[in-house]
């Protein structure tokens, strides 16, 4: 028994470190070659992008070339508390994007309608990017209803929840 304890344990030999490094380098080169080949193949199948007309450059916005002359009409700031939670206050500065300036009475009606809408808003309805998009769409719809479609868009200049 003493003899069995003194015998060295058999060691398993694997591939040498040089062989492992060579295999790693070979596989890396193969992966680079396959990636480069796939990129060349995909790029050759991509259609050419159409060139924009010379009349319309990047510095001219699409609205300016469509013949519409839109202006902004600022509304007074809206400051109110929300429906839930009631201790959260909201301040919002908006502008209306219109073709010609609205009468003062119509602008006041739109302002009051947007104020009434903001009082019914709950915090979870305005959270995140999609909540902001839905809020803007609701404001635009209400403004268009009050002005018989004369409002093209509602621009939210400032929106602060406190």
Per-residue model confidence (pLDDT) at position 97: 95
Tell me, letter by letter, the H, E, C secondary structure of 49-109.
Answer: CCCCCCCCCCCCCHHHHCCCCCEEEECCCEEEECCECCCCEEEEEEEEEECCCCCHHHHHH
3-state percent helix, strand, coil for the chain, nearest multiple of 5: 50, 20, 35
**Across residues 87-101, what is the average pLDDT?**
95
The residues pairing with 161 across neighbouring beta strands, listed in sequence order, are 90
Burial class, 92, CB count within 10 angstroms (exposed 0-12 / middle 13-18 / buried 19+): buried
Q: Where are the domains of the chain?
A: 67-161
Q: Write the DSSP symbol of residue 151.
A: E
Letter string b/e over residues 106-137, b meaning 16 or more CB atoms within 10 A of that residue's CB:
bbeebbebbeebbeebeeeebeeeeeeeebbe
Per-residue model confidence (pLDDT) at position 55: 54
pLDDT tens for residues 19-67?
Answer: 999 999 999 999 999 999 999 998 887 777 777 666 555 554 455 456 6
Q: Which two tokens stand for residue 111?
A: 């302002």
Among 40-49, 91-100, 103-112, the least confident range: 40-49
Per-residue model confidence (pLDDT) at position 13: 77
Per-residue model confidence (pLDDT) at position 45: 79
pLDDT tens for residues 109-122?
Answer: 999 999 999 999 99
The fold of 67-161 is: Tetrahydropterin Synthase; Chain A (3.30.479)
């Amino acid at each position: 028994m003493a003899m069995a304890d003194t015998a060295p344990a058999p060691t398993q030999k694997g591939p040498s470190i040089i062989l492992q490094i060579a295999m790693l380098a070979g596989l890396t080169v193969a992966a680079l070659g396959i990636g480069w080949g796939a990129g060349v193949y995909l790029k050759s199948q991509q259609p050419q992008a159409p060139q924009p007309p010379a009349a319309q450059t990047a510095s001219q916005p699409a609205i300016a070339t469509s013949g519409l002359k839109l202006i902004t009409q600022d509304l007074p700031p809206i400051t109110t508390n929300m429906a839930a939670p009631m201790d959260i206050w909201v301040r919002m500065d908006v502008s209306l994007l219109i073709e010609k300036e609205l009468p003062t009475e119509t602008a006041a009606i739109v302002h009051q309608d947007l104020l009434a809408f903001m009082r019914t808003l709950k915090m979870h309805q305005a959270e995140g990017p999609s909540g902001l998009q839905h809020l803007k769409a609701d404001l635009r719809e209400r403004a268009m209803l009050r002005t018989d479609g004369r409002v093209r868009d509602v621009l939210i200049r400032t929106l602060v929840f406190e």
